[in-house]
Structure 1
Amino acid sequence: MKIKDKRSKQAVEIRRQAEEIAREKADLLSENLDALSPEETRQTLHELRVHQIELEIQNEELRIAQAELNAVLARYFDLYNLAPVGYCTVSEVGLILEANLTAAILLGMARDTLAKQPITRFILKEDQDIYYLYRKQLFETGEPQVCELRMVKQDGTSFWTHLKATVVLDADGAPVCRIVLSDITERQRLEAEILNIMEYTDNIVETVREPLLVLNSDLKILTASRSFYDTFKITSEETIGNLIYNLGNRQWDIPKLRVLLETILPQKTTFDDYEVEHDFTTIGRRIMLLNARQIQRELGKERIIILAIEDITERRKIEDGLEKTRKKLKIVKKSAEILEFTESVINTVREPLLVLDSDLKVLSANRSFHDYFKVTPDETTGKLIYDLGNRQWDIPRLRMLLEEILLKDGRFDDYEIEHDFPNIGRRIILLNVRRIHQKEIDSQKILLAIEDITERRKIESGLKKAHEELKELASELKRTTQVKSEFLANMSHELRTPLNAILGFSEVLEDELYGDLNDRQKTYAHHIYNAGKHLLSLINDILDLSKVEAGKMEFEASWFPIRAILASSIVMLREKAMKHGIVLCVEIESDADIHVEADERKIKQILFNLLSNAVKFTPYGGRVTVRAYMAAFENGSEQQRMLEVCVEDTGIGIKEEDLPRLFGEFTQLHQRVLTKEHEGTGLGLALTKRLVEFHHGVMRVESEYGTGSRFYFTLPVLYGKKDKIEE
């Protein structure tokens, strides 16, 4: 409004001045016009028109400039009035000349009513001196001044303000003060609250009994509690501002403390119950628990560390003492439980038991003792062991055990005593004794276990006698078996000589070497030859079996390829198999294609017996297969690799109930199906099994009746030579 009034007055004054100038020029113009020629008049009019146009153009430019100025003024007005801080202009005498809307709101008055109001009206009485000093410095120095004081709104509400003022000259050249007002009430409240918290924290630090340290990011001490000074016998002058490791002549230079502050805390801002044990020069060895906190301040630019220290040295001593006491109580409790359990066991076992003290007086006895020796608890407990049963326990050998032997060894088992007890007769008893030392209560006890072996000794005596008789019978049986074997061996030798003659002459007759024979004679000669051959086979088997039983079988070791001996065994039976349409096969796995060290003749005999049986009991068109491979067998806790040979046929098989009798001497399972051509001695499998066992091998059989059989025998790999044989 003031600006518009001023402009209106200026326009009126300009109008007045222009009219005066126009009147003066009009008089001159009328005089000059009379003197001008028509041409000069036209020229003058032209210039006037041009000048008028120029004025109109200038007037338009002025109008545009005025519009732009008005827009700037409006924008300035908005910025000025709506600024987030208050602006006001104060005269040299302290009257408010002008204020923006924000200042009016801060002071709680309408903006147009603030003019001519003394600014001191809005300053709290207690802070008037602050303002006067502030104003004096402002006008004296002419430099910007800043202060903080409390102002009062129109309704009496006070608030904190931050004043920033400068001195300028107004349009009339008079000095005025331009003031910027900022409401800092909330900031002052927060600062006061922070001061209260800091004071409260300082009081806590000074009050708590735990030593506390506050460190900066360089691990220098900012503050410490009184408890820290008292506990570690150090002053604040020796503490504040010093590196923590340098405290007390570097006695705080502790490796574990360095680990906590330099390694753990940078990674983990909180750490509790960090134990440090250290020898301090002033206070001795201490065990401390450290709780550490790392706090960031001022947007992470500053880091402080709070370190709380608890001296647990005495507590640890108490805990150790409590732990020892707890262990002792646990031992006592366990001892009581064990004692109760022991008493239950003592009263449960069937053996008589006694518990004696160090003076050999009976502390307790179990029920078996009372029942067996016909005594009551009243006659037993508290009595000297030798006085029991009217001194029937006063036995010299018992005294020797308890008073001499036990003192040396502390234990003794199977101590035999034979004694006549009036109540139960003569008894042989075994005593097991233990001396038990109870360290916790410094006491000794003797545990005495009693076993009556009277009946057992009688049985043992009878068994000993029976054993001696059996031993004599076994020796006699061994002698008889040996005599039998020797007799059979001698008889076999005696029978071979005439039998060889019979075989030789019958073969000569059958081959008609000394003349022709008719059919009947040929048949008789053939029967004589077959019967002799059968008898010779029987005699040979009996001779070999008797040698094994008599222990006269000799082991003629040699190295030979397993492939060759399998092939030769097949060749021996190939003609017989072909006559019956039986296919013979050999299968040898690569790892079993080796040399073996064995008795070659006996291995051939084993294979011949097994293959002969397989061919004998396999029907026309059947198949007999020999396989050799390496197999693993359990040998105690270890596995042993052995060479295993399997002879498999597709013959008539063996019934399951006949398998246990298969390897018996003079046993033939298929007597009903055998013809004279297939009859055997009944010794083949028994002898074969003995020959396998003679080589430390094992023989077994698997069979399905009506389908076929598989006979296995093994040779330990220790007889094997791993040379690969080239065919």
Structure 2
Amino acid sequence: MNLGRKTKQMLTKQLARARRRIAQLERLLVEGKRCELEAHEAREYAESILATVWEPLVVLDKHLRVISASRSFYTTFKVSSEETAGKLLYELGNRQWDIPELRQLLENILAENTTLDDYEVEHDFPNIGRKIMLLNARRIWEGAEEPQRILLAIKDVTEQKRLEEELRRAHKMEAVGQLAGGLAHDFNNMLTAILGYSELLLELLPAGDPARDAAEQISQAGHSAAALTRKLLVLGRRQVLRPEVLVLNDVLTPMEKILRRAVGERIELEMTLEPQLAAVEVDRSLMEQVVMNLVLNARDAMPDGGKLTIETANVSLDREFAKRHPAFEPGRYVLLAVTDTGMGMDRETQSRIFEPFFTTKRAGKGTGLGLSTVYSTIGQSGGHVYVSSELGVGTRFEIYLPALGEKAQRKVHWETAVSTATPAETNMVESPEGTAKEKLQVEAPHRKRLAEPQTILVVDDDVSVRKLAATMLRSDGYQVLEASGGREALSMCEKHQGKIALSLTDVIMQDMGGRELAHQLSALTPEMKILYMSGYAIAEKGELEPGMPFLRKPFSKEALLSKVREVLEVSVE
């Protein structure tokens, strides 16, 4: 009995332990299922994050073999999971990731617990073209017994880099433009005296006089300097714009003979013009200069001959294009393209071609202002310039100008001023030699003087310009008063007994601006006419409004007398 009781007690204890063990196992089983469920949910959660992250993500093993990738990786690089799974990173595509330095940095992440931060890769990727990618990588911890992984994040910064480059270029062009505009103002004052007095000398010296040749050489050098100064004004976007509604074909067709002479017989010139081309609003003479600059640049890129193609087309740019190119707005544009089969350019040269004074030509063969003036002119005209080039293949310049006739099309805003064409500033095109000039516009004819002599007040703080203008006016019968600034001019008007018909005043002077002087002169003598002049080509700092009588420095005697007569005749009418 005692033995049976003891056996029963022992079995009862064992059964209790078994039950407790079973309960523990049940609890472990439930916990395991719960952990498994949590792990499954965690994996689904992680995968959902990977699926929704915009940046491409790749998980690599210690050998840099692709374990998995996010959906954005496949869409960005236009590949499938079958093409990448299980493959080494540096074997993907055209081995764009096969960079020894990059491989070492990635391998160090697991070996030395390092990180990869903002590593930049620029490459021609299969399916998507040339891109700039920014790489960041970290170790992934999966537990003590689990193999370690590397999470690689890839960001396409191509557009960001392009915008940064455009901003950098814009700031640089603005700084250079401000400097160039200021220099041009001072140069134009000096050139006014040089060209003006050489013109007066040529009037005095008869043909055959030994001194006449020297005067002509001075004049020719002055005109060349004036042409260079105009390019400086273009850089500062301070040139006069005379916009008109036109079709680019009407600009190109009359230039064809000039262009063929410029490129020479060894280069085939082909013009493919869209017959139904939309109209644009541009300055005709400046567009002629843009075309000539591009053609001469293409000619120099083909020293052994080749083919030059000029084409026009109507293009419509949609919102998707505008997203990829923020400088554009969606709408209709007119395309002007100049393509050559020349030497082409590397990427470093392409990044600098629009910089002022940058040139690949040998010394004495180029100023480095041709393409920079193209860039500035088109920008001031509301357009865009793009270039594509390949070494040994050629170069293509594309100019996009807003087409007229669509409500959504951005309006082009222009600063205009009334000016007069002169021998120094008449729109001209450089010949192939770059020295002789061929006029594209006819100068305004000189008009006869009035029957009665009139008094003109000349106001300029530059003594050489002031005395030159006074000499030219006196030679045509005008009585002239000279003032070195605004205050002296006001004093002269208060003391002068007779009528002053017109004041010829510089726009920007040290003691008083021309606009302020005109305002005070009008209070003293309301009937006095005002003619502004300046070394700047447009109204500076809002000094002048469109339509105000304006004479650009340097000016010729013909231009000065003609403009003065024009302003005085308005009062007569």
- When normalised by structure 2's length, the TM-score is 0.34
Which one scores higher on RCO, CA 8 angstroms, separation ≥ 6? 2
**What is the TM-score when the length of structure 1 is the normalising length?**
0.28
Rg comparison, structure with higher value: 1
Higher strand share: 1
